[in-house]
Amino acid sequence: MASSVAFKLVLVVLGCMVVGAPLAEAVIPCSRVSQYVGPCISYLKKGGAVPVPCCNGIRSLIGLAGTTPDRQAVCRCLVATAKSVTGIKGDLVSGLPGACKVRLPYPIGPNVDCNRIH
């Protein structure tokens, strides 16, 4: 009897782990995105030469955003930043990947629908 109860308990725990595992998958937080794109802000306001730390941050961010939820979270953070920081020039935002010689799987800018990113 006791082994039957223990067996059922193990099955319940395993079931919770299987069901809960996808829910525990965290996405990249905006604070982390800000760390990577922070060095880009002066360039996005004034233009000129793109700072090396900016491009390095963009490359690192692309490497971290390996899942659809990650890419959508990064997109949302970038859109929020583009909208909240005054003086950012939209053409510099959209041209940043090219200026850093990186390829993004989606456009960036204040009007991007992040829900459409896969």
> Model confidence over 10-54: pLDDT tens digits?
333 333 333 333 444 578 999 999 999 999 999 999 999 999 999
CA dihedral 66, 71, 74, 80 (to 10 degrees): 180
Closest CA to 85 of 113, 35, 45, 32: 45
Which CATH code for domain 28-116?
1.10.110.10
- Alpha-carbon gap, residue 20 to 115, rounded angstroms: 23
> Model confidence over 82-104: pLDDT tens digits?
888 899 998 898 899 999 999 88
Write b or e for each residue in 85-105: b if 16 or more Cβ atoms lie within 10 A of its Cβ, otherwise e.
Answer: eeebeeebbbbbbebbeeebe
Q: What is the pTM of this model?
A: 0.73
